[in-house]
Amino acid sequence: MVLGLLCNAAMASAQEADGPHVRVEIKPSRVVVGQGVILSLEVLAPNYMPAPPVLPDFQVRSLVTRQTSARNFVEQHDGVTYAGVRYEFTISPMEAGTFAILGQSVTVTYAAEPPATRTVSMPIPKLDLQAFIPPEARDLNPFVSANNITVEQSVDRSSQNLEVGDSVTRTVTVTANGLPAMLIPPIVFVPVDGFAIYPSQPDLQDVTDGRSGLQKGIRTEQVVYLLQKTGDYNLPPISLSWWNVRDQKIERTHIDEVGLHVADNLAARPSANWPDPWSISDFLQRHWQALSILLVGVVVLIWRLPPLMHAFTAWRDRRQKAHRESEACYFAILRCAVSSGDARKTYFSLLDWLERFVPLGRIGSTQILKRLANDPALSAAVDALEQNLFGNGAAEPDLQAFKSRLSPARRRLLRRRHSTRVEHLLPVDINPMPIKDGIPTA
């Protein structure tokens, strides 16, 4: 049978001996439409990788692909130390059928003979995935699968006692465990006679629980009803039928209708004291000179507006470009990298910031930072970060300790810059340094 040929773990390695290689697997290879499978991709290279691998996006028609995690590891093979990165992607099929993920490759830059580097591109073996709809649920239209689905609504009135001309805002939120938000079907708001309806764009969110790792999609839709007629009305109920993957059965989620009473708005009726139409003509005759001057001013403003807008746009672009290249902007990027917990991203963001940090003479060197900061804790944190990235199986660095010591050091150096003349230092690594285990040593 064809299904017997679908491997639960499709794995391959590169042909080059003692070179980088890739391992890939997909589990499971058969899944219900809408549910996710895990694609694991491991990239390994001898010594270390000075830059992250360039990954494919694994985008295939009718498949929703999201990267969910990435972590470093180290392996030993025949006495050779390999630095590795394991990536995980969640792939959710949008329709039934058989899908082939092929023609993908990963590019790796690694220290072939440290510090010399080499860049290679490795193909990823073909991966097969089959999506199906259970026979019991083939009449569902649209077909929706999840471990659990809840539907909630809120109704906001523009006034407590509704009258013609008021508005009512209805917000409906659908939460599906184990289903991406973009696969939750749109909510159908049935028109109500006597109301004008104004729907807004849906809000889609994918949330992952930090402890359990469970994923859920949240779709929020909002519609505004403008009340145009008096009477008693009901906003129609909303229901959703879906396939419970955990219990293997069809379930129906429902929210009740909303009753509204709309009264007449006496204040909105035309007044019997409207001004005589001739009064407008009299006003124009009496004030035509002032109106003519006003009209000329509007024409001049329209004529002058494009050059002014062009000058303003150019000034704004210059300000934005200067901000993007500023030291403060790159320091904010560094703080975000630290908060993400990614050691490699943190280290290269640190180097980018150091190149723009004036107190260090605009030299991207961690050695100068440690010398001028004169903070043993900061120096130890930087050393631990470098050892983790370029050492052999070093422990995870304490990025929070690094973050807590870096900000005070930056403030001290900035104050010192304003109070004294900062000496221009040469980089400490201007001369070649010996290499041990792939790590530059002083």
CATH classification of the domain holding 214: 2.60.40
Q: Is the dihedral of CA 179, 182, 185, 189 positive or negative?
A: positive
In degrees and rounded to multiples of 5, residue 107 shows phi and psi of: -105, 130
Angle at 401 between CA 400 and CA 405, to 5 degrees: 115
| Per-residue pLDDT tens digits for 278-326 | 567 767 777 778 888 988 888 888 887 888 788 888 888 888 888 887 8
Cis peptide bond upstream of 236, omega within 30: no
Q: Kindly state whether residues 180 and 196 are assigned to the same domain.
A: yes
Q: Kindly state whether residues 10 and 120 are assigned to the same domain.
A: yes
Can you give the pLDDT at residue 1?
Answer: 33
Q: Kindly state whether residues 302 and 342 are assigned to the same domain.
A: no
Domain termination residue (choose one: 112, 132, 152): 132
Rounded Cα–Cα distance for residues 350 and 332 (Å): 11
Q: Kindly state whether residues 74 and 108 are assigned to the same domain.
A: yes
Q: Kindly state whether residues 226 and 167 are assigned to the same domain.
A: yes
Q: Kindly state whether residues 52 and 156 are assigned to the same domain.
A: no
- 63 membership: H or E segment, kind and range: strand 63-77
Q: Kindly state whether residues 395 and 368 are assigned to the same domain.
A: yes
Domain hosting residue 225, numbered range: 138-267
Determine how β-strand 37-46 pairs with β-strand 97-101.
unpaired
Q: Kindly state whether residues 233 and 149 are assigned to the same domain.
A: yes
When pLDDT is cut at 50, 70 and 90, the band that residue 391 belongs to is: confident
Domain termination residue (choose one: 115, 132, 149): 132
What is the amino acid identity at position 223? V
Residue 279 belongs to a domain: no
pLDDT at 90 > cutoff 90: yes
Buried/exposed 315-343: b ≥16 CB within 10 Å, e otherwise:
eeeeeeeeeeeebeebbeebeebbeeebb
pLDDT at 423 > cutoff 70: no
| Per-residue pLDDT tens digits for 155-212 | 999 999 999 999 999 999 999 998 999 999 999 999 999 999 999 999 999 998 767 6
Angle at 53 between CA 39 and CA 76, to 5 degrees: 80
Tell me the percentage of the chain whose pLDDT exceeds 70.
84
Residue 274 belongs to a domain: no
Q: Kindly state whether residues 145 and 260 are assigned to the same domain.
A: yes
Residue 236 near residue 257, CB atoms below 8 Å: yes
When pLDDT is cut at 50, 70 and 90, the band that residue 269 belongs to is: low
- 178 membership: H or E segment, kind and range: none
Tell me the two tokens of residue 178.
Answer: 């184990």
Q: What is the mean pLDDT of residues 329-338?
A: 87
When pLDDT is cut at 50, 70 and 90, the band that residue 82 belongs to is: very high
HSE toward the beta carbon, residue 272, CA cutoff 13 A: 1
What is the amino acid identity at position 222? Q
Q: Kindly state whether residues 105 and 187 are assigned to the same domain.
A: no
**What total number of domains does the chain contain?**
4
Tell me the two tokens of residue 105.
Answer: 């490759």
Tally of residues, the chain: 442
Residue 339 belongs to a domain: yes
Domain termination residue (choose one: 132, 163, 182): 132
Q: Kindly state whether residues 125 and 144 are assigned to the same domain.
A: no
SS3 of the chain: helix, strand, coil, percent, to 5:
30, 35, 35
Residue 259 near residue 232, CB atoms below 8 Å: yes
